[in-house]
Structure formats: structure tokens, C-alpha cells
Amino acid sequence: MHLNTCGVLLYDEAFTDLETALKPYVHEGSIGKYIYCQKAEDDGIFLRLTISPEQVTNRIKDTMQILIPLRYVKFIASASSNKSLGFE
């Protein structure tokens, strides 16, 4: 199975500290605020997220990479589609 969607759940502190920067990428559901991405890579200090426009309802115009300090990351799940993750 090819995993092409990651759901990243962040601690509340991330949204307090980075609210404006995260706003275009954030979804909210029963699990709380989270980010969907194509890929999540840990470099030891940051989590590098690759996000496509489709994953954020075209709130961005091109595929983006954002880096979030690992201290803000609570949980990551991967699946073949957004619907498989259960974040909504």
C-alpha cells in the first residue's frame, strides 16, 4: 500500500505561538486542529511537511514545504487517503 497522506496533530501551544503562519494549512475536526500533508519528514529539530493545494482546499497556490519545530508535534498518522485517517 502506498501511503500518500499524513495527518499531523499539534499541541495547542503550536497554534498559540504560530497561529498566523499555520492558518492556511490548518483543518479542524472532532480530533481538534490538525494539518494534512503528502509527506512528513523529521530532521531532528523540525518536522518538514509537504502540502499540496488540494489538501488545504486550494488556500495555497502551489505545493509548499513548511517546517514545524518537533516540540509542537503530538501525533502523526499516515494512510492512502484523508478519509482513512479519521481526523475529521
Is 66 a domain residue? yes
| pTM assigned to the model | 0.86
Is 25 a domain residue? yes
Is 86 a domain residue? no
Print the domain residue range for 37.
5-80
pLDDT score for 83: 66
Is 88 a domain residue? no
- Give the number of domains in the chain: 1
pLDDT score for 3: 54
Is 18 a domain residue? yes
Query: 86 — alpha (psi -120 to 50), left (phi > 0) or beta?
Result: left
* CA pair distance 60, 49, nearest whole angstrom: 14
Taking the chain (88 residues) in runs of 10, the rounded mean pLDDT of each run is: 77 95 92 91 95 92 96 91 69
pLDDT score for 10: 95
Is 10 a domain residue? yes
* CA pair distance 37, 25, nearest whole angstrom: 9
